[in-house]
Amino acid sequence: MQLRVIDSHTGGEPTRTIVSEVPLVGTSVAERLAFMHKHFDYLRTALIHEPRGAEVMVGAIILSAIDPKNTAGVIFFNNVGYLGMCGHGTIGVVETLRWLGKLNPGVHSLETCVGDIQVLLHEDRRVTLDNVASYRIAKDYPIRIDGDSLMADIAYGGNYFALLDVSHTDLLSRSADFLTKQSIEILSKIRIEFPQVDHVELFGKPISQKNNSRSFVLCPGNQYDRSPCGTGTSAKLACLAADGKLPPGQIWRQESFIGSVFEASYVWVDQASKSIRPSITSRAFVNGDLQVIADPEDPFCWGIPRDRT
Ligand code: PYC
């Protein structure tokens, strides 16, 4: 098997990008994703599961563009399945293409299974992504955790999020393991009413005064995002915009649990329905170039099944 994979990270969150051609059939990215799920899911498990991968990794596969006006297509996947969009992953993919000499500074468009997005590769290697339209679905949905009442907003930013302001508690000073368990419990309560939600974001005070907020983001597969989460920051901006707390064009600096930062702002798509187009800026670093080897005698060459790790 000839499979080349480039590793990068964006704000500490890894992206493992397949740059070899994989024959995914379909007339849309969503159809190609379904084809990959059916016929090539072993590539996902081989790259993300142990012993070759790590559960925290997000994978990406670069596709030829379906519409010739676009630069490329991309499918994102993780330890348990496929993601609609991925902000840190998009920035990782753009840096990967730049590192390979396949992308020059300027504006490019990428096809994803939730819609086309624009990316600007800056001369200094930062990337700004203009995400899909993002919006809030529900405000102040009440839940009870350990006897405490919390309010969640539900919003879409390329993936579906439950967003909870926990700045009145000391939650964000707790360990990642503790927050993971709390977020899993929150998610199970939220999904009774909003089954589409698969990410949880807890917001609190930033560590650095330069930033507006700090977040802990639980992703599907029960890993937390080391970056501030591009789709999560988009969902956050949709809530701020709907509440009139952030005007269009103003920069919002979102700090991640580990202290990395995304700069974000938005423009209205439709002010009446409070739908916005968020822009997220950050940069990624390539940190590996892997030739995948699949030894037919290796019982775990396609990854260890998750129920055994
Ligand atoms: O940056 O959008 C993001 C993301 C989603 C899951 C992990 N990162």
Distance CA 198, CA 30 (A): 18
Domain that holds residue 291: 2-122+286-308
pLDDT at 2: 82
Residues 291 and 234 in one domain: no
150 and 228 both lie in a single domain: yes
157/277 same-domain check: yes
For residue 55, the tally of other CB atoms under 10 A from its CB is 16
**Residue from 75, 83, 258 to probe ligand 1 pocket by mutation (most atoms less than 8 Å from CB):** 83
Residue 180 clears pLDDT 90, i.e. is over it: yes
Whether residue 51 has a cis bond before it, omega within 30° of 0: yes
State the average pLDDT over residues 211-224: 98
* Structure-token pair, residue 141: 């949905």
**Does the active-site annotation cover 86?**
yes
pLDDT band at 57 (very low <50, low <70, confident <90, very high): very high
CA-231 nearest atom, ligand 1: 2
The overall average pLDDT reported for the chain is 97
Give the per-residue pLDDT at 103: 98
In a domain, 127, yes or no: no
State the Cα–Cα distance between residues 278 and 244, nearest whole angstrom.
15
Query: Which of these ranges, 148-152, 177-181, 267-271, has the smallest mean pLDDT?
Result: 148-152
At 236, which CATH number? 3.10.310.10
Q: In the predicted model, is pLDDT for residue 1 greater than 80?
A: no
Catalytic annotation present for 219: no
Name which residue sits closest to atom 5 of ligand 1, judged by CA: 86
Q: Do 62 and 191 belong to one domain?
A: no
- pLDDT bin (cut points 50, 70, 90) of residue 307 is confident
41 located within any domain:
yes
69 and 113 co-located in one domain: yes
Residue nearest to atom 8 of ligand 1 (CA): 229
Tell me if 130 is assigned to some domain.
Answer: no
Asked whether residue 128 is assigned to any structural domain, the reply reads: no
| Consecutive H or E run containing 276 | strand 275-282
Across the range 50-79, mean pLDDT stands at 97
With respect to residue 227, please indicate whether it lies within any of the assigned structural domains. yes
**Same domain flag for 299 and 166:** no
3-state class (DSSP) for residue 55: coil
The count of structural domains within the chain is: 2
Closest CA to 242 of 128, 116, 134: 134
Domain contains 81: yes
Going from the C-alpha of 100 to that of each of 6, 27, 79, 130, 199, the distances in angstroms are 9, 27, 26, 23, 32
pLDDT number for residue 95 = 98
pLDDT at 146: 83
On whether both 104 and 139 belong to a single domain, the answer is no
Q: What is the C-alpha separation between 17 and 60, in angstroms, rounded?
A: 5
Mean pLDDT across 31-49: 98
Which of 86, 113, 219, 239 is the catalytic position? 86
Q: State mean pLDDT over 14-35.
A: 97
Residues 143 and 199 in one domain: yes
**Pair 163, 275 in one domain:** yes
List ligand 1's pocket residues with C-beta within 6 A.
13, 58, 83, 86-88, 219, 225, 227, 229-231
Contacts of 94 (CB under 8 A, 6+ apart): 103, 108, 119, 121, 127, 129, 284
Q: Which of 219, 229, 239, 301 is the catalytic position?
A: 229
The residues facing 118 across adjacent strands are 109, 130
Is residue 257 domain-shared with residue 297, that is, in the same domain? no
Q: Tell me: pLDDT of 306 over 90.
A: no
22 — pLDDT class (breaks 50, 70, 90):
very high
Characterize 172-209 residue by residue with b for buried, 16 or more Cβ atoms within 10 angstroms of its Cβ, and e for exposed: beeeeeebbebbeebbebbeeebeebbbbbbbbebeee
